[in-house]
Amino acid sequence: MPLLEIKGLHATIGEREILKGIDLTVNAGEVHAIMGPNGSGKSTLAQVLAGRDLYAVTGGQVTYDGKDLLAMAPEDRAREGIFLAFQYPVEIPGVSNQYFLKAALNTQRKHRELPELDAMDFLDLIRGKIELMEMESSLLNRAVNAGFSGGEKKRNEIFQMAVLEPRLAILDETDSGLDIDALKLVAHGVNSLRGPERSMIVVTHYQRLLDYIVPDFVHVLAEGRIVKSGGKELALELERSGYAGLGIEDAEEAVGKV
């Protein structure tokens, strides 16, 4: 049984239809890259899978681990092991990063009928992950993402992922705004989390990230549909000939940047 099965997924925001029938199957342990020009619906797909209520699902089904994903509240999806690394991580002033992550981990552990961790156990657990992501410990005591640089925010997302150990990780343009050193660090974190029980959907505009996180499958999204799927070589082909080489228009570039 696949971990995730998307069939004919349609989604709208307001009056506008963004996803126009997505089909995608992700098995345990696979890494799928979703590529596509701006406005193709990549981020919408990531957000819909996480349960963002800004979007209305107007058709199709999503089965996750045998369950109807679309019927689940966002927090239940998270507790069942779905993690979204945000393109724009949100700032939460006044709530310490460490406290936030401990609260998240404990609600997930509780859901899985595991004992909740106290402060000491939690610190033991995160120590190795801090090293993995080369996180400065001061970031843990600061408010969630508040005043973090772009790179620090993205690193913090992957750090959270390392602590929460999801079964399905969705990375939404995790490479955007990162310089090459930060990109390598983030990719290293992601790669160390790859395993036979963990699947990933990596959403990106650029091939560059896929040099470091090498996917098993690549899908090209355009105008709300997957127009081409292939192995990792498809990303390289895109790199050479661009989206235009596949006859795809960049929706935003076509009408000029909004």
Partner 1 sequence: MSESTNTIETFANREYKWGFVTDIESDAIPRGLNEGVIGLISAKKREPEWMLEWRLKAYRHWLTMTEPTWANIHYPPIDYQDIIYYAAPKSKKDGPKSLDEVDPELLRTYEKLGIPLQERAILAGVAVDAVFDSVSVATTFKAKLMDMGVIFGSFSEAVREHPDLVKQYLGSVVPSSDNFFAALNSAVFSDGSFCYVPKGVRCPMELSTYFRINAKDTGQFERTLIVADEGAFVSYLEGCTAPMRDTNQLHAAVVELVALDNAQIKYSTVQNWYPGDKDGKGGIYNFVTKRGACRGVNSKISWTQVETGSSITWKYPSCLLMGDNSVGEFYSVALANNYQQADTGTKMIHIGKNTTSTIVSKGISAGHGQNTYRGGVKILKSATGARNYSQCDSLLLGDKCGAHTFPYLEVRNTSSQVEHEASTSKIGEDQIFYCRQRGISTEDAVSMIVHGFCKEVFRELPMEFAVEAQKLLGVSLEGSVG
**Interacting residues toward partner 1 by CB under 8 A:** 50-54, 73-75, 77-79, 83-84, 86, 89-96, 99-101, 103-104, 107-108, 111, 143, 160, 164
Q: Which CB sits closer to partner 1, 169 or 235? A: 169
Looking at the DSSP bridge assignments, the partners of residue 79 are none
- For residue 138, CA distances in Å to 110, 133, 170 come to 28, 13, 27
In the complex, the smallest distance separating the C-beta of residue 145 from partner 1, rounded to whole angstroms, is 9
In the complex, the smallest distance separating the C-beta of residue 249 from partner 1, rounded to whole angstroms, is 30
Looking at the DSSP bridge assignments, the partners of residue 143 are 96
In the complex, the smallest distance separating the C-beta of residue 250 from partner 1, rounded to whole angstroms, is 26
Q: Which CB sits closer to partner 1, 170 or 183? A: 170
Q: Which CB sits closer to partner 1, 161 or 235? A: 161
In the complex, the smallest distance separating the C-beta of residue 198 from partner 1, rounded to whole angstroms, is 17
Q: Which CB sits closer to partner 1, 107 or 192? A: 107
Q: Which CB sits closer to partner 1, 84 or 235? A: 84
3-state SS assignment for residue 254: helix
Q: What is the DSSP secondary-structure string of 111-170?
A: HTTPPPP-HHHHHHHHHHHHHHTT--HHHHHSEETTT--HHHHHHHHHHHHHHH--SEEE
Q: Which residues of 50-85 are buried (b: 16+ CB within 10 A; e: fewer)?
A: bbeeebeeeebebbbbeeebbebeeeebbbbbbbbb
Q: Which CB sits closer to partner 1, 35 or 202? A: 202
* Percentages of the chain per state (helix, strand, coil), in multiples of 5: 40, 30, 30
In the complex, the smallest distance separating the C-beta of residue 84 from partner 1, rounded to whole angstroms, is 5
In the complex, the smallest distance separating the C-beta of residue 93 from partner 1, rounded to whole angstroms, is 7
